[in-house]
């Protein structure tokens, strides 16, 4: 192993327990209720705030690509919740996050194609105005910008976000929830 690689591993071992290519991270929270967004939903299932997902994203971003992440969520005080209920809430929120990602991707795709369509129409209009140099140039430039922005939205941004989501999904090996008494 190179000196730089050893230094990286030593640094990562300050935050993760590493065995082979599996890194284990303990995220410790005082209470489960600190992860709950009290202003969302009708009480059928609790909605988590972004704290847990932000911590998971940060952990995955720190690890080299070949690593898998075992995530151990330690709750010091479950409060009004039991362990099974917390597990159910976290799983439901993961499904909700996946649904949100799919919905946002679909919106970007529709938005991108709409921009491409508007840009194409503007470019066709500019073709008929080619005798009027100033107007032709302005319309042609704006049409080109619409098409480029549409391609950027529909394909480039969407693919980057999909890649980030796939990387996150592939990186997480296991998620467990434990109380502080089980550590």
Please give the pLDDT value at position 158.
63
Please give the pLDDT value at position 126.
78
Report the C-alpha gap between 27 and 128 in whole angstroms. 62
Rg for the chain (alpha carbons), in Å?
A: 24
DSSP string, 40-89: SS-SSSPPB-HHHHHHHHHHHHHS-TT-EEEEEEEEEE-TT--HHHHHHH
Which pair of structure tokens corresponds to residue 117? 């369509």
User: What is the tally of structural domains in the chain?
Assistant: 1
Please give the pLDDT value at position 8.
78
Domain holding 111, by residue range, is 3-182
Which pair of structure tokens corresponds to residue 166? 């796939």
Q: What is the pTM of this model?
A: 0.62
Please give the pLDDT value at position 124.
83
Q: From the first residue on, what is the mean pLDDT of each consecutive set of 10 residues in the chain (183 residues)? A: 70 81 85 80 73 80 79 84 84 79 82 87 79 73 84 72 57 71 66
């Amino acid at each position: 192993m190179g000196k730089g690689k050893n230094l990286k591993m030593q640094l990562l071992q300050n935050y993760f327990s590493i065995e082979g290519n599996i890194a284990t991270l303990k995220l410790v929270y005082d209470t489960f209720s600190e992860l709950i967004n009290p202003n969302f939903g009708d009480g059928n299932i609790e909605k988590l705030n972004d704290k847990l997902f932000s911590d998971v994203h940060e952990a995955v971003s720190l690890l080299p690509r070949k690593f898998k992440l075992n995530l151990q969520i330690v709750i010091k005080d479950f409060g009004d919740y039991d362990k099974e209920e917390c597990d159910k809430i976290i799983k439901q929120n993961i499904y909700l996050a996946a649904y949100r990602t799919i919905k946002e991707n679909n919106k970007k795709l529709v938005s991108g194609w709409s921009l491409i369509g508007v840009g194409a129409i503007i470019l066709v209009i500019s073709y008929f105005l080619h005798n009027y140099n100033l107007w032709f140039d302005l319309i042609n430039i704006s049409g080109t910008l619409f098409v480029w922005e549409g391609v950027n939205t529909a394909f480039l941004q969407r693919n980057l976000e999909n890649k980030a989501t796939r990387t996150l999904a592939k990186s997480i090996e296991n998620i467990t929830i434990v109380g502080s008494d089980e550590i």
